[in-house]
Amino acid sequence: MYVYLYDNFLRQKKYDSVIKAVEVRLTDYGIAGKILRLNNFIDPKQIIDDEIKRGAKTVVIVGNDATFGYVLSRAATCDCTFGFLPIGPSNTISEVLGIQTGIEACDVLSKRRKESLDVGWMNNRYFVSQLHVLPAKLKVVYDERFAVTANEKMEVIVCNLQPFYWKKDKKDVSEQVVHPQDGKLEAFLRPLTKQGWWGYKYEDPSVFPFEEMEIVSDSPFTVEADGKVSKEVKVKIKLAHGKIDMIVGRNRKF
């Protein structure tokens, strides 16, 4: 049995036609199922657990990167197969998973090509897409073997499934991107150096693939993981292998 979790933004009128077309296609394939709408007051883990008890085997997330991160960061431990129907703007994870945006995603879903995905573990919660530490005076310790520091502030981005885009400076027209590989987390460290009186300039990023790392600072720093923001002094990030069973496309990037 299939359960579909729709994001709240899909209520907007402009998505009506796409949603209708998707629903028709899913019915054609015989994989239509119960539709649940997410909002800020719903805990995805609880409703997924309830649906699993009622016999659901596949949970399909319908929305964008934010929806994907919101659901999977909370429901990574649920014992079911996950699917993804990317709709609307800001869909970068779908590209990595090899799922086209819109109605074509139904074809991928119907083929049920399953892969185990790794999940990032941060302090006491999971993250699937990206973890972002805003610029601060940080010390990063990798696998308890070596430490990385910068002279000034440093920004850290840990990628799992969501690719990281960066620009060298404001004049840089082309956005630069590195696609994360599956099997390891990738950390991008961008030190900031002072420029002029009050300006800061981003240096070229350092890239470290890792399985475990610790970010430490004397003062609290802001961490954003899958859209959830918190202040921490010490963050331990690990990789949990093969936590999520996910339906992926043929053109996936891992």
Partner 1 sequence: MIFQKSTSKNVVEEEMPQYETPAGTERVDEVETVVGPSVNVEGDFASEGNIIIKGTVSGSVHTSRFLAVEQGAKIMANVRAGTAKISGEVKGNLKIRETLELTSSAKILGDIETRVLSVEPGALLFGKISMPGIEGAETRSAKPRVTRRGEETAEAGE
**1, 21, 207, 229: residue in contact with partner 1 (rule CB under 8 A):** 207
Q: Which residue has the tokens 């993981």?
A: 225
Size of the site for partner 1 (CB under 8 A): 30
Q: Using the minimum distance from each CB to partner 1, give the nearer residue, 2 or 208.
A: 208
Q: Does 24 bind partner 1 (CB under 8 A)?
A: no
Q: Is residue 195 at the binding interface for partner 1, with CB under 8 A as the rule?
A: no
Q: Which residues in the 165-184 window bind partner 1 by CB under 8 A? A: 165, 173-179, 181, 184
Stretch that binds partner 1, among 18-26, 30-38, 204-212, 234-242 (CB under 8 A): 204-212
Pick one of 57, 116, 200, 209: the residue that binds partner 1 (CB under 8 A): 209
Residue 228 has which token pair?
A: 């959830």
Distances (CA, A) of 182 to 123, 128, 139, 189, 246: 21, 11, 25, 19, 13
Using a 10 angstrom Cβ sphere, with 0-12 exposed, 13-18 middle and 19 or more buried, the burial of residue 246 is: buried
The two three-digit tokens of residue 166, written as one number: 């960066």
Q: What angle do CA 2, 7, 11 make, to 5 degrees?
A: 110
SS (H, E, C) 55-94: CCCEEEEEECHHHHHHHHHHHCCCCCEEEEEECCCCCCHH
Minimum distance, C-beta of residue 166 to partner 1, in the bound complex (Å): 9
Q: Whole-number minimum distance, CB 198 to partner 1, in Å?
A: 19
Q: Between vectors from CA 148 to CA 146 and to CA 150, what angle results, nearest 5°? A: 160
- Least distance (Å) from partner 1 to the CB of residue 85? 22
CA atoms of 115 and 161, how far apart (whole Å): 13
Residue 9 vs 202, nearer CB to partner 1:
202
Window 91-150: residues binding partner 1 (CB under 8 A)? 145-150
Question: Is-contact 133 215, C-beta < 8 A?
Answer: yes
Instruction: Tell me if 241 contacts partner 1 by CB under 8 A.
Output: no
Q: How far is the CB of 196 from partner 1 (least distance, A)?
A: 17
Burial class of residue 13 in the structure, from the number of CB atoms within 10 Å of its CB (0-12 exposed, 13-18 middle, 19+ buried): exposed
Q: How far is the CB of 173 from partner 1 (least distance, A)?
A: 7
Does residue number 208 form part of the binding site for partner 1 (CB under 8 A)? yes
Rounded least distance, CB 147 to partner 1, Å: 5
Tell me the closest approach of the beta carbon of residue 110 to partner 1, in angstroms: 28
Binding interface with partner 1 (CB under 8 A): 145-152, 163, 165, 173-179, 181, 184, 189-191, 193, 203-209
